[in-house]
């Protein structure tokens, strides 16, 4: 009894120490709020931003992307120009469904209860969660949930409060529980051209030189071809 109490206290102080180290590290990082938490397996691009109370576990966050207030991401590969709204949960980890209890207290040596009755790990560790991929320019609305292992393809939009259980095609807008395609942002021709251009791979200098094209509503092929000349695509 005493030793289990001692183990629990040690785990709590480990956790407290990790939080303190993160807090101190964040004071020196301009792009991550001091109240956000990113574990040692996470990589945040210099031009990306992590807002208050966000929690990143084994997450790679690409250039010019942001994670909104209170959002959690687990085992995610997030591309450039992605916008993740507030209070989202991306990469939900599964518990076991075919054992008597779904509680990790029986299955994982380190788990959210702070106690463990497992002599080894019987379920996959959180870091083994199937990776969730967000390609480029993905927007996730507030309070949305994305199950682990899903791919959100380039340019897609997840509506506020949606629960995404399957891959979302490029430039689709999905919403609801479970999320379904409402419509596509552009015609197939425009989507194909955008996928060919891959503007999100251009340098900041090139993008800022042609930035006006990003404010044209419902751009035509002509608009795109004018802005993204052969030269600009290199
Ligand atoms: C999904 C979204 C992008 C709108 O897409 P849209 O194509 O313009 O959709 P519309 O407003 O024309 O609505 C189309 C239909 O979808 C429904 N709908 C729209 N958003 C929805 C949502 N989040 N969940 C469920 N249904 C939704 C509408 O009620 C409408 O239904 P109807 O055809 O039966 O009347 C938007 O509603 C949304 O959820 N944005 C996220 C906003 C947000 O979280 N911002 C935080 C800042 S990051």
Protein residue closest via CA to atom 27 of ligand 1: 175
Distance 202 CA to ligand 1 centre (A): 30
Of 143, 175, 180, 218, the one to substitute when testing ligand 1's pocket (max ligand atoms within 8 A of C-beta) is 175
At 116-128, the pLDDT tens digits run: 999 999 998 889 9
Protein residue closest via CA to atom 12 of ligand 1: 182
What CATH fold (topology level) applies to the domain 31-93+129-185?
A: UDP N-Acetylglucosamine Acyltransferase; domain 1 (2.160.10)
Question: Does residue 173 have its Cβ closer than 6 Å to ligand 1?
Answer: yes
Based on the residue annotation, tell me whether 95 is a catalytic residue of this protein.
Answer: yes
* Among 30, 51, 64, 95, the one annotated catalytic: 95
Strands (DSSP E) found in the chain: 37-38, 43-44, 49-50, 55-61, 66-67, 72-78, 83-84, 89-92, 132-134, 139-140, 145-147, 151-152, 157-158, 163-164, 172-175, 180-184
CA 178 – CA 19 distance, rounded (Å): 35
Residue 21 pLDDT > 90: no
Distance 109 CA to ligand 1 centre (A): 42
* Banded pLDDT at 2 (limits 50, 70, 90): very low
At 40-99, the pLDDT tens digits run: 999 999 999 999 999 999 999 999 999 999 999 999 999 999 999 999 999 999 999 999
- Burial (CB count <10 Å: 0-12, 13-18, 19+), residue 50: buried
How much is the mean pLDDT over the chain? 92
pTM, two decimals, is: 0.90
Rounded mean pLDDT of 221-233? 82
Residue 196 pLDDT > 70: yes
């Amino acid at each position: 009894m005493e030793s289990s109490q001692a183990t629990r206290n040690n785990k709590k102080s480990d956790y407290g120490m990790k939080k303190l180290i993160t807090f101190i590290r964040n004071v020196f990082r301009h792009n991550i709020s001091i109240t956000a938490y990113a574990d040692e397996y996470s990589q945040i691009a210099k031009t990306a931003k992590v807002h208050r109370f966000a929690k990143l576990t084994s997450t790679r966050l690409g250039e010019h992307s942001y994670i909104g207030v209170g959002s959690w991401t687990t085992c995610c590969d997030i591309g450039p120009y992605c916008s993740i709204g507030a209070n989202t949960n991306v990469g939900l980890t599964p518990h076991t469904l075919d054992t008597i209890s779904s509680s990790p207290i029986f299955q994982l040596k380190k788990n959210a209860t702070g106690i463990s009755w497992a002599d080894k790990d019987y379920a996959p560790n959180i870091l083994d969660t199937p990776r969730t991929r967000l390609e480029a320019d993905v927007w996730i609305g507030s309070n949305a949930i994305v199950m682990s292992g899903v791919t959100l393809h380039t340019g897609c939009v997840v509506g506020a409060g949606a629960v995404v259980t399957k891959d979302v095609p490029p430039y689709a807008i999905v919403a609801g529980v479970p999320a379904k395609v409402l419509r596509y942002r552009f015609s197939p021709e425009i989507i194909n051209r955008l996928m060919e251009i891959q503007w999100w791979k251009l340098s900041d200098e090139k993008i800022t030189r042609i930035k006006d094209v990003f404010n044209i509503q419902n751009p035509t092929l002509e608009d795109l071809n004018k802005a993204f000349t052969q030269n600009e695509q290199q």
